Amino acid sequence: MTARLPDTLPITRGCPYAPPDEHRRLQQEAPISRVTLPSGMTVWALTRHEDIRTMLTDPRFSSDRRNPNFPLLLEGQRLNTDFVPSLIGMDPPEHGPARREVVGEFTVKRMAALRPRIQEIVDEHIDAMLAGPRPTDLVKALSLPVPSLVICELLGVPYDDHDFFQARSSLLLSRTASPEERKRAVDELREYLGELILAKERVPADDLLSRRLAKSDDHEELKSLAFLLLVAGHETTANMISLGTMTFLERPEDIRTIHEDPSRTLPAVEELLRYFTIAEIATSRVAVDDTEIGGVPIRAGEGVVALSNTANRDPETFDRPDELDLERGARNHLAFGFGAHQCLGQNLARMELQIVFDTLFRRIPGLRPAVPLDTLPFKDDANVYGIHEFPVTW
């Protein structure tokens, strides 16, 4: 199958509200096809919802990021392999037991128990916004600190260390930090997490690390897990806070809707997740055995990228796929992936977003963008789509 496509598949979105045209053309003309990524790697691109679900539930596709054929978008992205591989890079038979050890920390019920504390965190940051200067950058004031503090809460980082943790975790994501600064932040965070684990071993408390320590004394593995939770749960949620706020600010009638009936917020969150599908590249895989998808043979050693943002607009699966319908509430989207690796933190993310949108527009009813939205710096070149900076005022 061939489509009239540029030699290299563009990965930049351009319009924040739509997948790249080239990805759409693939879906229409060659839904399973060989493409060359900007990294120079040639891989399979999947664009149909059902094909991606099939791929992500087929154990012949591996998540092992150390495999040299694992798709990379850009050159130089191969992960530092010194770390103990974390959950996200594991395959069966290791993945299942490893996931089972932590998934009890993320049940719908346990997440509900975190709600009051998350509400407090959100309120404190909105208090600070209201007391501070206008305009302010929503990303720094709210989007980034809220998920990072929620992870502190989960891991049991003591209050006095929050500033340290927060500063390092935002350096990891900073566009202006140099590679050396970023590496130093990673080292300092890992060292900190190592010390935190030792402290929890001495004085256990009511948190994830203490509970894990009661069952295992593998500190390296625990450190990797803690770091993964930070990396996987921080920027993703932050970007959805920014993108969701931007979208709501363009649709005052939807702000009114969730204000009058807060039961509408969760379906809205779900639709925003579908509409932006910010982390599609996380669901790349590499075939470790010959197999086939939708009748197309895929050989061992071939990489596969799931273009989930486009698949989340698959007309076979979603009616009026390009319409942002905040009442749709469909959870069969691929924004959290599918299969055994489907986002561990999804119910935490849903709750964080729900609380932020419910609280932000209620407490700052006059909130508005301080610059035209089409001038916002979107993360067009990043693995996780989002907004670098979002000046707002009220």
Task: Name the residues that contact other proteins, by CB under 8 A.
Answer: 56-57, 96, 99-100, 103-109, 331-332, 336-344, 346-347
CA distances from 235 to 148, 232, 288 (A): 9, 7, 30
Distance, in Å, from the CA atom of 77 to the CA atom of 71, rounded to the nearest integer, reads 10
Pairing of strands 303-306, 42-46: parallel
Q: Kindly tell me which of 212 and 341 has the beta carbon lying closer to ligand HEM.
A: 341
Q: Which of 343, 355, 360, 387 touches ligand HEM by CB under 6 A?
A: 343
Q: Kindly tell me which of 143 and 347 has the beta carbon lying closer to other proteins.
A: 347
Query: Is there a contact between 187 and 166 (Cβ–Cβ < 8 Å)?
Result: no
Considering only the stretches 1-9, 67-75, 180-188, 345-353, report the one whose residues sit in contact with ligand HEM under the rule CB under 6 A.
Answer: 345-353
Q: Kindly tell me which of 190 and 331 has the beta carbon lying closer to other proteins.
A: 331
Which positions from 151 through 210 interact with ligand HEM, judged by CB under 6 A? 151
Count CB atoms within 10 A of the CB of residue 179.
8
Of these partners, other proteins, ligand HEM, none, which one is at the site of residue 146 (CB under 5 to 8 Å by kind)? none
283 part of the interface to ligand HEM, by CB under 6 A? yes
Distance, in Å, from the CA atom of 55 to the CA atom of 338, rounded to the nearest integer, reads 9
Q: Kindly tell me which of 97 and 377 has the beta carbon lying closer to ligand HEM.
A: 97
Considering only the stretches 24-32, 131-139, 235-243, 369-377, report the one whose residues sit in contact with ligand HEM under the rule CB under 6 A.
Answer: 235-243
DSSP annotation string for 277-322: -TTGGGG-EEESS-EEETTEEE-TT-EEEE-HHHHTT-TTTSSSTT
CA distances from 5 to 23, 26, 48 (A): 9, 8, 18
Of these partners, ligand HEM, other proteins, none, which one is at the site of residue 348 (CB under 5 to 8 Å by kind)? ligand HEM
Instruction: Tell the smallest beta-carbon distance from residue 393 to other proteins (Å).
Output: 36
Is the torsion defined by CA of 76, 81, 86, 88 positive or negative? positive
Q: Kindly tell me which of 56 and 287 has the beta carbon lying closer to other proteins.
A: 56
233 part of the interface to ligand HEM, by CB under 6 A? yes
Token pair of 194, please?
């190592």
Q: Kindly tell me which of 27 and 237 has the beta carbon lying closer to ligand HEM.
A: 237
- Of 171, 169, 172, 144, the residue nearest 352 (C-alpha): 144
Of these partners, other proteins, ligand HEM, none, which one is at the site of residue 135 (CB under 5 to 8 Å by kind)? none
Instruction: Tell the smallest beta-carbon distance from residue 88 to other proteins (Å).
Output: 13
361 phi, psi to nearest 5 deg: -75, -25
What mask of x and - would describe binding to ligand HEM in positions 60 to 79, judged by CB under 6 A? ---x----------------
Q: Which of 118, 138, 287, 335 touches ligand HEM by CB under 6 A?
A: 335
Distance, in Å, from the CA atom of 308 to the CA atom of 336, rounded to the nearest integer, reads 10
87 part of the interface to ligand HEM, by CB under 6 A? yes
Token pair of 182, please?
């970023």
Token pair of 391, please?
């000046």
Of these partners, ligand HEM, other proteins, none, which one is at the site of residue 283 (CB under 5 to 8 Å by kind)? ligand HEM
Token pair of 75, please?
């050159």
CA angle (150, 387, 394) in 5-degree steps: 80
Query: Is there a contact between 105 and 211 (Cβ–Cβ < 8 Å)?
Result: yes
Q: Kindly tell me which of 4 and 215 has the beta carbon lying closer to other proteins.
A: 215
Distance, in Å, from the CA atom of 384 to the CA atom of 236, rounded to the nearest integer, reads 7
Query: Is there a contact between 314 and 341 (Cβ–Cβ < 8 Å)?
Result: no
Of these partners, ligand HEM, other proteins, none, which one is at the site of residue 194 (CB under 5 to 8 Å by kind)? none
Of these partners, ligand HEM, other proteins, none, which one is at the site of residue 88 (CB under 5 to 8 Å by kind)? ligand HEM
382 part of the interface to ligand HEM, by CB under 6 A? no
278 part of the interface to ligand HEM, by CB under 6 A? yes
Q: Kindly tell me which of 296 and 340 has the beta carbon lying closer to other proteins.
A: 340
Count CB atoms within 10 A of the CB of residue 63.
23
243 part of the interface to ligand HEM, by CB under 6 A? no
- Of 52, 24, 12, 26, the residue nearest 321 (C-alpha): 24
Q: Kindly tell me which of 27 and 143 has the beta carbon lying closer to ligand HEM.
A: 143
Q: In the complex, which residues of this chain contact ligand HEM (CB under 6 A)?
A: 63, 87-88, 99, 151, 228-229, 232-233, 236-237, 240, 278-279, 282-283, 335-337, 341, 343-345, 348-349
